[in-house]
Structure 1
């Protein structure tokens, strides 16, 4: 399909630079297969879902993966995006033309790395020096990796350390937040429990590639980034039991959805999973694992707009986005949410 089919005009003022407070005060656009759009709030979720449904959250934790350093006199910026092993990470490099394989980069605070290998996409494998865990080094020298549409408008600050982390965050490794889950609070979870709506967690370490633009003119020519994920056997078993009992599996965020679909065969059975996925979902895809999705509003011509269009239909989603813009919903990572129920 032509990538231009997923384009739309977004007024800059619709891009949220800070989240609402409290988190569950965000707005929620309910989109069903047909009928009018519903302008609701995230706190309405217990009434919008059914007893026996289950929400699936991503428990990845965002690490301070943006680093500023020097190779000699040259300024070098690095955004880690995928772990290779305990001491090596793949990183997108700013000012990469000043960096060669074997060069040492100093990031300050006693944190340094060797540019070990240049990869075909222009990124580098960085090997961090010393014996301390890389996560400890990043806490000392790194910044939260806010997406470009926020970081380009204002500097990262201490508040982002809290704001850009979900209440479910446990497993270190993401360099972008699973942003749909940013809307949840202990109070909302308690209300969902009372309503008989279950919850499960999986892990998908979101990579910086999630923000990369689709440069191809046709979706067939786009190479999707890969990310590491895990679904435990007991989680898979409980989700299968929910579906066989007539309940719905609602993914919270496109990351949860992509991993669930990666782990599910043509028979509709969710299998345990541990490994990389580069699944690219576009219109025409037949969903096997999920019955709905809660997600934020995404960038024009992005793989995520293609994914929600696959779930609801392109025309339906383009109409929903037009409605959201007209009704002044807040877009992107710190913005409002939608509940998609095909």
Structure 2
């Protein structure tokens, strides 16, 4: 690890100015950033500690939603009464990821910004990684790509976003609240993460020195019928091969609204409106759920080693919908 300057911020404005002036990075839980620094993947000249900015509250909003401070730990969020009762799918997603010790340290803002776990990115011994060294190539295209993208990839990068939390936030239509040198922004979660295109080094829409200060959730119709299902090689501390977050609103035994998103299949949580359209207006029976699951994976473009994830995805969506609707235990 290279030497760096360390600063303690006492205000949000001060933290932003420090990162802007130093070209450094914000540090909260550090569960991802510090690993990247140890491996030489990230080498910020300065770290600005934002743990004491008061961004650690979870509060009800006037509209009936919830505002979550970016510094709230994953453990605190997953176990908060407002989240467990109004947004249980978010609690399920968080608890499916990492160990308790890591969840105690990791923060909401940091979770949204965690980098891909592609081995060619995570290990500097590999020369070809457009995400780490733009223009160097993508070794995963012809190399190990068992865990990589089925949707939204490009000839420059096939890596995936590893967050469980972000997949649940996607079906809840979360809004990422930021503050930066140019003021504040409200960014819909669907627009926050970016696909690789020809610039895979950019993974989100944040501007230089822009800080996530909160995530806001609107009122949800899915408190009674939602589920997060994660499929992985081992149950203990493994990233998703495929995951599915679903929410269904049932009125008079008809699906009135639905939300479906996949994780582990793209560089961002992958919302599937076509699958949602199959569900809405239908009675919640198994044939409809299977049709939605089939449609969710219809546009998948598997690589040389990950075609098996297409079937996993169908199964994940079907099982998650069945659990959400209590058609199966």
Task: Report TM bin, short chain.
Answer: under 0.3
Q: Whose strand fraction is larger, Structure 1's or Structure 2's?
A: 1
TM-score when normalising by structure 2: 0.26
Between 1 and 2, higher relative CO (CA 8 Å, sep ≥ 6) is seen in: 1
